[in-house]
A = this chain, B = another copy of it.
Amino acid sequence: MPQENSAAKVLHHLKQDILKGVFAAGHKLKMSALKERYKVGVNPLREALSQLVVMQLVQVQDQRGYRVCPVTQSELVDIYDTRARIESLCVGLAIVRGDDAWEAGIVAAAYQLQANADLLKADGDIQAWEQLHQQFHYSIVQGCGSKELLRVRLDLYEKASRYRNLWLQHNAGHGAFDVNQMEHEQLVKATLARDAELAKKLISQHIQVPSQVLRDLL
């Protein structure tokens, strides 16, 4: 098993902590506090923070350390709008390029998501549901076959995570999940029917849902 270095480990944990909201937007990331929390020295920490700066999750001020990037309404709208366009691009390409295995993967992921939806909803295990949800959407876009496009998509997904977690938190218990499930069925139907125009329209709307809700909240 490849033993990754301290910087890689702290990067993973720190990133999750920021995305999950453990460190709120604008929070000052003091070296002493982070050293304490992750049990590492300053140098691995600085490496991890440097990487988070490139990912635009952390800001750096010269000689004044690091802080979590602020969240703004305009960035929220921009990210979700751009995500919708990129995901549309992926879906359109996947419909053109996807083969039998791709179709089978979609059906499998859709089944998994639906089968576990009620269970997880009852448990309140939103993270597990989000995992299946992500897997479902990935099974579709994966058919586009472009590593670069999929990476752009992933970057935007992660950048949206902080906002999405606010939404999940706000919408826990609401009927949004059932609407969500219906949208998924329509999307699968349009995708397998290779109806690119409809599928692109559906995925675009589906992605924008949290944005609509959160817009008034920020």
A residues touching B (Cβ–Cβ < 8 Å)? 2-5, 7-8, 43, 46-48, 50-51, 53-56, 62-63, 75, 78-79, 81-82, 85-86, 89, 146-149, 151-152, 155-156, 159
Contact = CB atoms under 8 A, between A and B. Distances in A.
Nearest to A11: B50
Interface centre among A4, A148, A155, A156, by most chain B C-beta atoms within 10 angstroms, is: A148
Nearest to A160: B148
Given A4-B62, A79-B148, A148-B156, 16 more contacts: A2-B62, A5-B62, A43-B46, A47-B47, A48-B50, A51-B51, A51-B54, A54-B54, A56-B151, A75-B148, A82-B149, A85-B89, A85-B149, A89-B89, A152-B155, A152-B156
Contacts of A148: 75, 78-79, 81-82, 156, 159
Contacts of A151: 56
| Chain A interface SS verdict (over half) | helix
A196 B7 CA distance: 46
A56 B7 CA distance: 17
A56 B4 CA distance: 18
Contact of A50 (B7, B78, B86): B7
A78 B147 CA distance: 7
A50 B14 CA distance: 15
Closest 8 CB pairs of A and B: A82-B148, A54-B54, A47-B50, A51-B54, A78-B148, A50-B50, A82-B149, A50-B51
A78 to B, nearest CB: 5
